[in-house]
Amino acid sequence: MIKFLLVLLFLSRVGEINSQVDTIENKYLSYLKITQNILKRYPEATLIDIYKYFFQSRFGPEHLISDSLIAFQILQDELKSEEIKPHKSKPDSLLIELLYPEKKFVRVDLSLVKDRIIPINLFFSAFLQSAERYDSLDYEKWKNDWTKIVFELEKSDLKINRFKEDKIKIDGALRNNRFVFSHSQEYKKKYNPHYRLINLKIFQRFLLPYLNQYRIKFIE
């Protein structure tokens, strides 16, 4: 009887381990599917841009805000850029972009502020409130996760611009605890990215009502 119970316990434990392995594998495969969607939306994206997407999905705007007065001045100056086209020139799905897989943050296009759909002071307040602080363990986990994400991408048949070159660049930066990258020149030239990251819950509570008035759809 005791041997029978031990066998059942062993099989149960093996099942739990296999289930955990399946969950982990599915997690990283989900990054592959998300990357496919990124490339459909932004065909010129390089590995740097894909890294940036996933990093922002997890960490949001924390790395951008060290001085709120300077950050506000940068926002004001950026809004003067002629690169920011009227919001009507873009589909709603690019005006507010929910970042996967975390679904914690959205990229909000600055055209919505420039066109005065969202008041600048409210927008900047939401931006500041969206910043979170993370410790070294969070970043160490990110290093490990990124290694596994790249492994899945490398195995896939996806054609990602400058994959090998960017992989080396990112690996070197992470070894030196540098985590933040600008968008690639190819991405900037093609898509003129001008946005800020806002926590999803803050966005839904404070900013989404303004968009609803203009019938701008937020697609989750």
**CA distance linking residue 46 with residue 164, whole number of Å:** 10
Q: Is 9 exposed, middle or buried (0-12, 13-18, 19+ CB in 10 A)?
A: exposed
In a domain, 218, yes or no: no
Span 190-212, pLDDT tens digits: 999 999 999 999 999 999 999 99
What does the pLDDT look like over 119-169, one tens digit per residue? 999 999 999 999 988 889 999 999 999 999 999 999 999 999 999 999 999
pTM of the model: 0.87
Beta-bridged to residue 109, according to DSSP, are 195
CB of 131 closer than 8 Å to CB of 198: no
Number of domains in the chain: 1
Q: Which residue has the tokens 């990093």?
A: 55
Query: Per the domain annotation, does 186 fall within a domain?
Result: yes
Nearest Cα to 111, choosing from 195, 183, 187? 195
Confirm whether 60 is domain-assigned. Answer: yes
Task: Tell the residue number behind the tokens 């589909």, with chain if given.
Answer: 91
12 falls within a domain: yes
What was the pLDDT predicted at 3? Answer: 55
- Whether residue 124 contacts residue 202, with contact meaning beta carbons closer than 8 Å, is answered with no
Structural domain for 72, as ranges? 2-213
Residue type, 39: L
Q: Residue type for 41, please?
A: R
177 found inside a domain: yes
Q: How confident is the model at residue 22 (pLDDT cuts 50, 70, 90)?
A: very low
Angstrom distance (rounded) from CA 204 to CA 130 = 12
